[in-house]
Amino acid sequence: MDLTSASINFSIIYPEISLLIAAALILVSVFHKSANRIAPYIALIGIVVSIAMIFKQWGHQESGFFGMITCDSFGVTFKLIFDVTALLSLLIAHRYMISKGINRPEFYALLLISTMGMMVMANTTDLIVIFLGLEIMSVPLYVMAGFAKRSLWSSEAGIKYFIMGAFASSFLLMGIAFIYGASSTTDLRRIVADFHFIMSNSPAYMLTGMALILVGFGFKIGAVPFHSWVPDVYEGAPTPVTAFFSVGPKAAGIAALLRIFIFGFANVMMLSTVFWVLAVLTMSVGNILALKQNNIKRLLAYSSIAHAGYILVALTVGGNDAISAAIFYLVAYIMFNLGAFAVVTLMETRSGCKSDFSELVGLAKVHPYLAAVLTLFMFALAGFPPTAGFFGKFYIFSAAIKSGYIWLAVIGMLNSFLSVYYYLRVVKTSYFDSSDKSFIPVKYSLSIIIVLVITVIGTLGIGLFPQQFLNWSQSALFAFL
Amino acid sequence: MTSPQVGIVFWIIAFVMLISAFMVVSLKNIFHSALFLILCLFSVAGIYVLLQAEFLAAAQVLIYVGAVAVLMLFAIMLTNNLASKKIRQANRNVLVGFFVSVIFCFITLVLLVKTYVSVWGKLKPQAVLPAQNVLVFGKYLMTKFMLPFEVVSVLLLAALIGAIVLARKERS
């Protein structure tokens, strides 16, 4: 097959195009009086059409646009992951935005464009296009973090995220420049084809470039020691945006890391040591700092750092078992993390409520079902069987043990035990604590109920049929590299 | 760089660039810093011209000097009293920053020297760039790099919407 085919085959970018068309329609509809009401529906239709297009691409392996876009199983799987994330975040966001008085059509357009950027990022083997996709993903995210302009916290989150993000992008770009300098191409497939020649010719340039690229993506996925922005941004941004942050950019960053470092530069031994250190630091620091948090959003921020660490364990190990385990874990994490954020969002739509622990007191008495759902998500985050979280960790750590990374698996499991403490604190507060303030009941909305149903089915379904799901994630392993 | 005159021009430009870059980060008046930034960016354009990258030089002047730097000047002038205020640019992390940048400089220097040594004597003076490299550049933009070229417009659109959303007045 001609991998740098000049064919301008639009069918391989239909999912991206449908998101873009929906975003354009929303921007046009801004001039209509009831734009606020119709924008979410346009976005919803755009995402659903995009998902339908992805199913049509299933199993196709194509490359087009002079090799700038590749449509392989790996990329298509990640496209689906991004679309589902965007869909759930949209459903979580709708009611919240109305209740906070910031329901603007632009929000939905930015959400769609950001999702499109993630798709571009995961569906290319060209470093330039990866960088472009990353920027298209990030620029709307900066604005979305600061979308609640009247809230100082939100503005702070937007500025912080913008500065750190721009900083990270410059590292990434510098790394790409170094690699281009060493190999005189930006196409990963060409670099991989001549890898030994390039490495023996200019190893220093390649290694410096790889290090800088790793720093850039480390910022994006919130790996320690590049995590300092995560808690503040997660706490300050509007909660549905935080929900989107905690999974979307992380999944996109992991996709790019997998493509560059696991499929691309797989033969560099030094890298696995670097990933080992990153994984251990990310897991441990995330979990230890989460122990003392009294705000649920901050707690989930540190927990998301820790979960990035578990996925980095899989990247350290490498090999088919570990990569399919990483994809498995990523999807499972999306399910229960978005579910947890949906509950937090629901709590915050009550007027004047923050996301402190004290707001949870009495939840179980007033809303037994909601408390049960929250408990399920916390158990899944902590990794109890039979939830998806257990099998995700199980597959990652068993892949690590099989490849001889015993210590890494042991540290990961110890971290997992540590995390049980703070996840169960959430459960304990909502069931057993009492205070003199009475619990203000929450109002359910259809969209939140849909999200909760989908995420509960996902969390339990993946947990009950892990083998079928693992087979699915193994089918995503084919990549053009 | 064939003739010694070109070499002299390079050193002059490089000297101006370094001095003005240092001024940008050390002056107390932020308006003067911005003006030195323009000088610095102009010198970078000069280096591009010396390397026969005319298009890059023109883009550098148009975008960085014409748009970015002028925008900075506007932002400084429109912000209350910022133009005449004395601001210390460094905070207590200046020493740490200094060491990090020295280390980074050292790594880059080592890389450059290594490359220089490894290609010493092997390079033959030859026309690396085609005579009309702007033409070639344009052709590449419309063929091989067509998709990135189009995708950039989505990025610009996103930035535009973002700027409008953030700058627009709140309706209560």
3-state secondary structure of A218: helix
Q: Is residue A153 assigned to a domain?
A: no
pLDDT of residue B54: 84
Q: A354: domain range?
A: 269-481
Does residue B140 belong to the interface with chain A, where contact is any CB pair within 8 Å? no
Q: Is residue A284 assigned to a domain?
A: yes
List of chain A residues with pLDDT < 70: 1-6, 481
- Closest CA in chain B for residue A154: B166
- In this predicted structure, the answer to whether residue B1 has a pLDDT above a threshold of 60 is no
Residue type for position A186:
T
Average confidence (pLDDT) over B72-87: 80
| CA–CA dist A301, A71 (Å, integer) | 33
Mutate to test the interface with B, among A33, A125, A143 (most CBs of B within 10 A): A143
The count of domains in chain A is 1
- What phi, psi does B54 have (nearest 5°)? -65, -40
Burial of residue A107 (CB within 10 Å: 0-12, 13-18, 19+) is buried
Taking the CA atoms of residue A440, residue A446, residue A447 and residue A449 in that order, the dihedral angle to the nearest 10 degrees is 70
- CA–chain centroid gap for A83, Å, is 11
CB contact under 8 A, A20 and B166: no
* Residue with token string 């021009």: B9
Q: How confident is the model at residue B124 (pLDDT cuts 50, 70, 90)?
A: low
Write out the H or E segment, with its range, that includes residue A78: helix A73-99
Counts for chain A of helices (H) and strands (E), in that order: 20, 2
Q: Is residue A298 assigned to a domain?
A: yes
Going along chain B from its start, the domains and CATH numbers come out as: 3-90 (1.20.120.1200)
Nearest to B158 among A68, A113, A202 (CB): A113
> Can you list the positions of beta strands (E) in A184-265?
none
By the 8 A CB rule, do A69 and B148 touch?
no
pLDDT of residue B129: 60
Q: How confident is the model at residue B120 (pLDDT cuts 50, 70, 90)?
A: low
CB contact under 8 A, B146 and A65: yes
- Closest CA in chain A for residue B115: A202
By the 8 A CB rule, do A265 and A210 touch?
yes
Q: Is residue A431 assigned to a domain?
A: yes
Nearest to A132 among B114, B148, B165 (CB): B148
Q: Is residue A158 assigned to a domain?
A: no
Q: Give per-residue pLDDT as tens, B8-62.
A: 899 999 999 999 999 998 888 888 888 999 999 999 999 998 888 888 899 999 9
Q: Is residue A217 assigned to a domain?
A: no
Nearest to A208 among B111, B166, B170 (CB): B111
Name which of A202, A254, A266, A332 is nearest A481 in CA terms. Answer: A266
Q: How confident is the model at residue B172 (pLDDT cuts 50, 70, 90)?
A: low
Residues A389, A391, A392, A396, CA torsion sign: positive
User: What sections of chain B are H helices per DSSP?
Assistant: 4-26, 30-50, 54-59, 70-78, 94-119, 133-142, 146-167
Q: Does the bond joining A225 to the residue before it have cis omega, within 30 degrees of 0? A: yes
How many angstroms away from the CA of A430 is the closest CA of chain B?
36
Q: Chain B residues with CB inside 8 Å of A8's CB?
A: 146
pLDDT of residue A62: 83
pLDDT of residue B133: 78
Tell me: ipTM over 0.85: yes
Q: Is residue A123 assigned to a domain?
A: no
End-to-end CA distance of chain A: 13
- B116 vs A326, residue with greater confidence: A326
Residue A440 CB contacts under 8 Å (≥ 6 apart), including other chains: A350, A353
| CA–CA dist A307, A381 (Å, integer) | 9
| CA–CA dist A97, A455 (Å, integer) | 21
DSSP string, A97-142: HHHTT---HHHHHHHHHHHHHHHHHHT--BHHHHHHHHHHHHHHHH
CB contact under 8 A, B158 and A140: yes
Q: Chain B residues with CB inside 8 Å of A129's CB?
A: 147-148, 151
3-state secondary structure of A70: strand
Does residue A196 belong to the interface with chain B, where contact is any CB pair within 8 Å? no
Q: Chain A residues with CB inside 8 Å of B156's CB?
A: none
How many angstroms away from the CA of A64 is the closest CA of chain B?
10
Nearest to B165 among A116, A143, A204 (CB): A143
What pTM was estimated for this model as a whole? 0.92
Does residue B165 belong to the interface with chain A, where contact is any CB pair within 8 Å? yes
DSSP lists the bridge partners of residue A295 as: A356
Q: Chain A residues with CB inside 8 Å of B145's CB?
A: 66, 68, 128
Mutate to test the interface with B, among A31, A36, A130, A136 (most CBs of B within 10 A): A136
- Closest CA in chain B for residue A23: B158
Nearest to B165 among A106, A133, A150 (CB): A106
Name which of A292, A314, A319 is nearest A303 in CA terms. Answer: A292
CB contact under 8 A, A140 and B144: no
CB contact under 8 A, B162 and A143: yes
Q: Is residue A58 assigned to a domain?
A: no
- CA–chain centroid gap for A277, Å, is 21
Q: Chain B residues with CB inside 8 Å of A210's CB?
A: none
